């Protein structure tokens, strides 16, 4: 049961309300932030003294891989990942294992320990949606949602090739509802389909086999459909040629495609009162910029191509990115981009798992270790930080590690500390291969992010980008009572001498409050709060939907399962919370 | 050196995990404190004295502590795991994972050792006078790196997956081996005095394997180099004539792994 809670005298950082370290009290009642509590309510309220501490909205991770078929493959193929990373059960928590691909329960606990309360699984293959929801059902602590992978879907490719944008929209709407997913993910458009024949696409204007559609046409079509329907978030794009030296040019060109598409967010929700307009204003959300920004022509002349892209992002207003930072150490690469994972497996000789998801998409998994001694990995580390530091406006950047591709989410504290402290970056520069300095611009960057910036790139921007700012990412009246209290005194913060301190303070938040309940305190899980699964319930023209379904049923003969077994029923979701989209129809 | 004697005092049904049995834990502790050290049996945590009578006390440091186990402890797992110094003598057979991730010191097993003996060992000496089973000095399942240092000597036979993922250190088996000896080996030395069955040195990219006896199914990715006489690796000597191979060419274009097969026993190669 959500308690009444008063958080007293904390230094509040709430970018959506332009509150920058002011000493304030935050009150929560019935799971929501309220302006004040009556004397009677105060008597029963739990009071948390946050004097000399940092108070932020609960963390929002808009790009992580913690549920679904490929995550589970990662767990299966990595027994060694569980071997040395295990946590015993307590009276209220399950035990758990795994550093880069933890077991489901541990994922929830570890996010909560860090102060995160919301996470979006960034790649749900439609056929695996049921499986994904089953796993999400067992992840405690977190409000969740998933993005549906549509960049190589046969129906999508066919409709877009035929130029039938209305049917494409009807299909997207039906698929979101059928699989209870939240937004559109587009992975290596047109390329993954070719991977079924051992091939890829090299440029945005190369057509793929059989469908003869280009990546450009798919990106154009999907972004258009997305805004036509008014889906809460922009299309989440994993660009072509990812992971290949020189891919930054493809990425930059991909970003120009939806520059004329007008963002449109058409949701029937109750909005929390924020000072800054919390509605979506971007038409494309580029994922893991670091992996999409490789420069050079081979691994020998490999260099960072981040600056070229960040210059473009700085000059435009339609792009938001997440970084895909690399914090060194163990990782597990997993993506819907099958060919890119095959390249990694060939490069490293690592274990490789690969899957073709029938008519829809594909995926691959390969364990990876980022080494400070490795020249390429060192540049990748620098590139992840460049992605966040070279873009001037924090409302265009989101901090991620593309968990667990660049590294596990448990290393977010390292990334946050590198961003805040030039001294910490310099210390790392002294430990890594010299390519990090020679082949990126990070060494010349003296920018240090403030706690306000950190609150922006880990709370406000992901919430706003995802269309969740109506309840997440702020401490506005009406917002969810999700609060993180870090034991960091902003008035005494010394990021030059004392940066090591930040690592533990970000890792184990002093308090993580979810919906008014104290979920974690100082690294210990205190309660298992209620959580929700969000999905987009999109209305479209009934006639259009009927025509589209005739096509779908016709083509279903190519599927290995029956049409009736395809949908994900609501019972697979924990507290299903539909967001009504495109209400007029 | 101060000696602590452990005598098994009960039949063990569910196997126990006793990585506390090592000089690092016993050092500086009295008899009573050692008796209270915790071992796991299934989900239960129980004091060591439930399973052993303890005599003597720990030395001033791990180096100064010697542990003698009088009798069979085949149902006790992880003896000497991660130990850094001192000595353990087991006057009988021991269970899984003896000397796993051991960093220093010495373990002598007078009987047999179960699977995973010396797994991912980093230093020290593990001497098994009887036989061992599978995964001797091997990497943990799915892991890249097996043993990185130290030495394992087995007087009897060892079975499959000896030295999997070996990157350093030495494994000497005076008896025979079975399958996948030195799989994914990238460094270090494995000597098998007896015979081996198949896939010896499969996927190896570095290091050395010597098989003095007969190899039943030879690894196809190995390439013949020349003949060599009386091999000597510091203090380890292998007398006689050997056929030298490099490999595994099935994995790498320029592999640095070396496999010596005794000529007399392998005339058909």
Average pLDDT value for residue range A475-481 = 96
> Does B140 contact A at CB distance below 8 Å?
yes
Distance from CA of B81 to the nearest CA of A (A): 14
Q: Which is it for strands A511-514 and A483-486: parallel, antiparallel or unpaired?
A: antiparallel
Contacts of A83 in chain B (CB under 8 A): 140-141, 143
Per-residue pLDDT reduced to its tens digit, A419-441: 999 999 999 999 999 999 999 99
Structure tokens at B35: 């008796």
Q: For A79, which of B141, B144, B251 is closest by C-beta distance?
A: B141
Q: Are B142 and A349 a contacting pair at CB < 8 A?
A: no
From chain B, the residues in CB contact with A74 under 8 A are: none
pLDDT at residue number B252:
85
d(CA A377, CA A365): 18
pLDDT band at B255 (very low <50, low <70, confident <90, very high): very high
CB A539 within 8 A of CB A176: no
The answer on pLDDT for A167 being more than 70 is yes
Distance (Å) from the alpha carbon of B188 to chain A's nearest alpha carbon: 20
CATH number listed for the domain at residues A62-264+281-448: 3.20.20
Per-residue model confidence as pLDDT tens digits over A186-245: 999 999 999 999 999 999 999 999 999 999 999 999 999 999 999 999 999 999 999 999
Question: What's the fold here for domain A5-56+477-525?
Answer: Urease, subunit C; domain 1 (2.30.40)
Nearest to A451 by CA among A15, A5, A32, A149: A15
Asked if A63 and A119 touch (Cβ cutoff 8 Å), the reply is no
Residue A243 near residue A207 (C-beta atoms within 8 A) = no
Q: Decide: helix, strand or coil at residue B116.
A: coil
* For testing contact with chain A, the best of B143, B205, B257 (most A CBs within 10 A): B143
Strand pairing class (B76-77; B170-173) = unpaired
Supply the ipTM of this predicted assembly.
0.86
CA A349 to each of CA A159, B76, B205: distance values in angstroms, whole numbers, following the listed order: 39, 37, 11
The predicted pLDDT at position A489 comes to 97
Residue A74: name the closest of A83, A65, A84, A62 by CA: A65
Classified as helix, coil or strand, A578 is strand
DSSP annotation of A558 reads G
> Are the beta carbons of A94 and A151 closer than 8 angstroms?
no
* Token pair 């400070």 in the structure block, residue: A372
Structure-token pair, residue A483: 């609060």
Residue A198 burial (CB < 10 Å; 0-12/13-18/19+)? Answer: exposed
Query: Residue B267: which residues within 8 A CB-CB, separation 6 or more?
Result: none
pLDDT value for A153: 97
Is B165 within 8 Å of B184 (Cβ atoms)? yes
Q: Where are the domains of chain A?
A: 5-56+477-525, 62-264+281-448
**Does the CA dihedral A124-A555-A219-A535 come out positive or negative?**
negative
The residue with tokens 């007029």 is A584
Indicate yes or no: CB of A83 within 8 angstroms of CB of B251.
no
Count CA atoms within 13 Å of residue A253 on its CB side.
14
Contacts of A79 in chain B (CB under 8 A): 140-142
From chain B, the residues in CB contact with A78 under 8 A are 142
Residue A1 has pLDDT above 80, yes or no: no
Task: Mark out the alpha helices in A163-214 (DSSP H runs).
Answer: 165-179, 191-195
- CA–CA gap between residue A186 and residue A189 (Å, rounded): 6
Token readout for B194 is: 């007896």
Percent of chain B with pLDDT over 90: 97
CB A281 within 8 A of CB A263: yes
B239 C-beta neighbours (distance < 10 Å), count? 11
b/e code B240-263 from CB counts within 10 Å (16+ = b): eebbbbbbbbeebeebebbbbbbb
Report chain B residues whose CB lies below 8 A from the CB of A77. Answer: 142
- Cβ-in-10-Å burial (0-12, 13-18, 19+) of A214 comes to buried
CB distance A364 to A340 below 8 Å: yes
CB contact under 8 A, B140 and A83: yes
Considering only the beta carbons, identify the residue of A77, A80, A349 that sits closest to B140.
Answer: A80
Q: Do A80 and B251 touch (CB under 8 A)?
A: no
Crossing angle of the two packed helices A165-179 and A542-555, in degrees rounded to 10: 80
Tokens coding B225: 């180099």
The reported pLDDT for the residue numbered A257 is: 97
Place of tokens 């435009």: A316
Q: Which one-letter DSSP state was computed for residue A400? A: -
Closest CA to A136 of A115, A120, A150, A116: A120
Q: How far is A131 from A357, CA to CA, in rounded Å?
A: 13
CB A148 within 8 A of CB A126: yes
Q: Tell me how far the alpha carbon of residue A390 is from its chain's centroid.
A: 20
Least CB–CB distance from A78: residue in B139, B142, B251:
B142
Question: How near does any CA of chain A get to the CA of B16, in Å?
Answer: 18
Q: Which residues of A touch B255 (CB under 8 A)?
A: none
Are B141 and A80 in contact (CB < 8 Å)?
yes
- List of E strands, A214-273: 235-238, 267-268
CA angle A13, A14, A18 (to 5 degrees): 105
Q: From CA A185, how far away is CA A231, in angstroms rounded?
A: 12
B44 has which bridge partners? B41
Who contacts B111 (Cβ-Cβ below 8 Å, separation ≥6)?
Answer: B72, B74, B90, B91, B92, B93, B94, B129, B130
> Which pair of tokens denotes residue A76?
């299966």
B142 interface with A at CB cutoff 8 Å: yes
Cα separation, B229 vs B238, whole angstroms: 9
Chain B nearest CA to A105, separation (Å): 19
Give A79→chain B minimum CA distance, Å.
6
Whether residue A67 contacts residue A139, with contact meaning beta carbons closer than 8 Å, is answered with yes
| B 247-266 residues inside an 8 A Cβ radius of A | 251
| DSSP-derived secondary structure for A166-177 | HHHHHHHHHHHH
Distances (CA, A) of A418 to A63, A238, A239, B252: 20, 25, 26, 38
B141 to A351: CB separation less than 8 angstroms, yes or no: no
Cα dihedral A307, A312, A318, A321, rounded to 10, equals -10
Q: What is the pLDDT of residue A363?
A: 94
**What are the Cα distances from residue A498, in Å, to A320, A343, A446, A458, A494?**
32, 41, 17, 22, 6
Give yes or no for B141 touching A (CB within 8 A).
yes
CA angle A275, A281, A286 (to 5 degrees): 125
Residue B126, CA distances (Å) to B10, B102, B133, B172 in order: 26, 9, 15, 10
Banded model confidence at residue A552, pLDDT cuts 50, 70, 90: very high
Residues from A contacting B (CB-CB < 8 Å) are 77-81, 83, 349, 351, 369
- Tell me the pLDDT band of A349, cut-offs 50, 70 and 90: confident
pLDDT recorded at residue A585: 56
- How many residues belong to chain A? 585
Q: Is it the case that residue A114 has pLDDT exceeding 60?
A: yes
Question: What percent of chain A is predicted at pLDDT more than 70?
Answer: 99
Q: Rounded to whole angstroms, how far apart are CA atoms B244 and A53?
A: 68
Give, to the nearest 10 degrees, the angle between helix A215-229 and helix A165-179.
Answer: 70
- The residues that bridge with B209 in the sheet, in sequence order, are B190, B259
- The whole-angstrom separation of Cα B26 and Cα A345 is 45
pLDDT tens per residue, range B20-71: 999 999 999 999 999 999 999 999 999 999 999 999 999 999 999 999 999 9
Which tokens is A41 given?
Answer: 């309510």
Q: Chain A: nearest CA to B142, how far in angstroms?
A: 5
Q: What is the pLDDT of residues A364-386, one digit of tens each?
A: 999 999 999 999 999 999 999 99
DSSP SS3 for A499: helix
Q: What is the largest CA-CA distance in chain A?
A: 70
- How many CA atoms within 13 Å lie on the side-chain side of A270? 6
pLDDT of residue A583: 81
Query: Helix (H) and strand (E) counts for chain B?
Result: 2, 19
B143 touches chain A (CB under 8 A): yes
pLDDT at A3: 79
Helix (H, G, I), strand (E, B) or coil at A21: strand
The alpha-carbon gap from B2 to the nearest alpha carbon of chain A, in Å, equals 32
**Which of B100, B144, B184 best probes binding to A when mutated, by most A CB atoms within 10 angstroms?**
B144
3-state secondary structure of A495: coil
* Chain A residues closer than 8 Å to B143 by CB: 80, 83
Report d(CA B164, CA B158) in Å as an integer. Answer: 13
Residue of B nearest to A349 (CA): B251
Of A77, A349, A369, the CB nearest to B142: A77
State the Cα–Cα distance between residues A346 and A247, nearest whole angstrom. Answer: 19
Q: What is the pLDDT of residue A2?
A: 59
Share of chain A above pLDDT 90, in %: 97
Under the phi-then-psi rule, with left for phi > 0, alpha for psi from -120 to 50, and beta for the rest, what region is A467?
Answer: left
How many CB pairs lie under 8 A apart between chains A and B? 18
């Amino acid at each position: 049961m959500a308690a009444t809670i008063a958080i007293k005298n904390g230094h509040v950082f709430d970018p959506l309300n332009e509150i920058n370290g002011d000493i304030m009290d935050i009150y929560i009642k019935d799971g929501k932030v309220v302006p004040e509590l009556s004397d009677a309510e105060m008597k029963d309220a739990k009071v948390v003294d946050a004097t000399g501490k940092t108070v932020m909205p609960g963390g929002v991770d808009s790009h992580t891989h913690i549920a679904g078929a490929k995550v589970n493959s990662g767990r299966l193929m990595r027994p060694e990942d569980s071997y040395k990373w295990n946590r015993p059960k307590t009276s209220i928590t399950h035990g758990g294992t795994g550093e880069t691909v933890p077991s489901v329960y541990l994922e929830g606990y570890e996010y909560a320990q860090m102060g995160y309360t919301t996470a979006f699984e960034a790649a749900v293959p439609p056929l695996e949606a049921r499986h994904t929801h089953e796993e999400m059902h067992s992840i405690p602590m977190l409000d969740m949602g998933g993005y549906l992978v549509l960049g190589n879907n046969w129906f999508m490719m066919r409709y877009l090739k035929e130029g039938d944008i209305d049917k494409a929209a009807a299909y997207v709407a039906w698929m979101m509802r059928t699989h209870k997913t939240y937004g559109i993910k587009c992975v290596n458009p047109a390329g993954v389909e070719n991977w079924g024949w051992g091939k890829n696409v090299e440029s945005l204007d190369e057509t793929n086999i059989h469908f003869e559609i280009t990546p450009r046409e798919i990106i154009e079509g999907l972004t258009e459909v997305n805004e036509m329907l008014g889906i809460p978030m922009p299309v989440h794009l994993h660009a072509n040629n990812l992971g290949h030296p020189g891919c930054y040019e493809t990425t930059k060109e991909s970003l120009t495609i939806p520059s004329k598409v007008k963002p449109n967010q058409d949701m029937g929700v109750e909005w929390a009162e924020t000072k800054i307009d919390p509605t979506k204003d971007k038409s494309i959300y580029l994922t893991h910029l670091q992996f999409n920004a490789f420069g050079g022509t081979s691994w020998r002349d490999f260099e960072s191509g981040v600056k070229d892209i960040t210059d473009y992002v700085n000059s435009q207003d339609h792009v938001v990115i997440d970084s895909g930072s690399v914090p060194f150490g163990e990782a597990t690469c997993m993506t819907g981009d099958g060919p890119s994972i095959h390249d990694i497996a060939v490069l490293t000789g690592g274990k490789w798992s690969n899957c073709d998801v029938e008519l829809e998409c594909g995926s691959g998994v390969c364990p990876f270790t980022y080494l400070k001694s490795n020249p390429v990995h060192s540049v990748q580390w620098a590139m992840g930080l460049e992605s966040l530091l070279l873009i001037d406006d924090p409302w265009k950047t989101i901090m991620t590690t593309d968990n667990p591709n660049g590294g596990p989410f448990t290393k977010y504290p390292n990334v946050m500390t590198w961003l805040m402290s030039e001294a910490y970056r310099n210390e790392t520069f002294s430990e890594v291969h010299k390519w990090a300095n020679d082949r990126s611009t990070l060494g010349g960057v003296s920018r240090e992010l403030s706690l306000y910036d950190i609150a922006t790139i880990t709370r406000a921007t992901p919430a706003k980008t995802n269309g969740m700012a109506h309840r997440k990412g702020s401490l506005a009246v009406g917002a969810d009572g999700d609060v993180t209290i870090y034991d960091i005194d902003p008035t005494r913060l010394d990021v030059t001498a004392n940066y090591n301190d930040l690592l533990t303070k970000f890792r184990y938040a002093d308090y993580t409050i979810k919906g008014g309940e104290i979920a974690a305190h100082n690294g210990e899980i205190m309660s298992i709060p209620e959580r929700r699964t969000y999905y987009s319930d999109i209305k479209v023209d009934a006639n259009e939907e009927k025509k589209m379904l005739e096509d779908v049923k016709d083509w279903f003969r190519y599927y290995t399962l029956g049409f009736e077994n395809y949908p994900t029923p609501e019972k697979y979701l924990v507290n299903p919370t539909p967001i009504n989209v495109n209400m007029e129809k | 050196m101060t000696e602590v004697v452990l005598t098994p005092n009960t039949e063990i049904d569910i196997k126990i995990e006793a990585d506390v049995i090592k000089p690092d834990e016993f050092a500086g502790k009295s008899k009573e404190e050692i008796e209270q050290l915790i071992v796991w049996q299934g989900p239960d945590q129980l004091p060591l004295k439930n399973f052993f009578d303890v005599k003597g006390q720990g030395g001033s440091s791990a180096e100064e502590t010697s542990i003698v186990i009088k009798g069979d402890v085949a149902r006790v797992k992880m003896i000497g795991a991660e130990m850094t110094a001192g000595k353990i003598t087991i006057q009988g057979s021991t269970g899984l994972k003896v000397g796993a991730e051991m960093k220093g010191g010495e373990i002598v097993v007078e009987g047999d050792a179960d699977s995973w003996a010396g797994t991912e060992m980093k230093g020290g000496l593990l001497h098994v006078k009887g036989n061992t089973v599978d995964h001797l000095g091997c990497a943990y399942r799915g892991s890249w790196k097996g043993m990185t240092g130290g030495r394992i000597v087995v007087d009897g036979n060892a079975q499959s997956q000896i030295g999997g993922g070996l990157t350093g250190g030495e494994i000497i088996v005076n008896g025979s081996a079975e399958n996948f000896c030195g799989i994914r080996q990238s460094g270090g030395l494995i000597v098998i005095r007896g015979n081996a069955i198949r896939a010896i040195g499969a996927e190896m990219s570095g290091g050395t394997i010597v098989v003095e006896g007969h190899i039943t199914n030879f690894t196809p990715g190995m390439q013949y180099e020349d003949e060599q006489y009386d091999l000597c690796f510091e203090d380890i000597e292998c007398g006689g004539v050997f056929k030298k191979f490099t490999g595994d060419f099935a994995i790498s274009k320029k592999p640095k792994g070396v496999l010596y097969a005794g000529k007399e026993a392998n005339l058909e190669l």
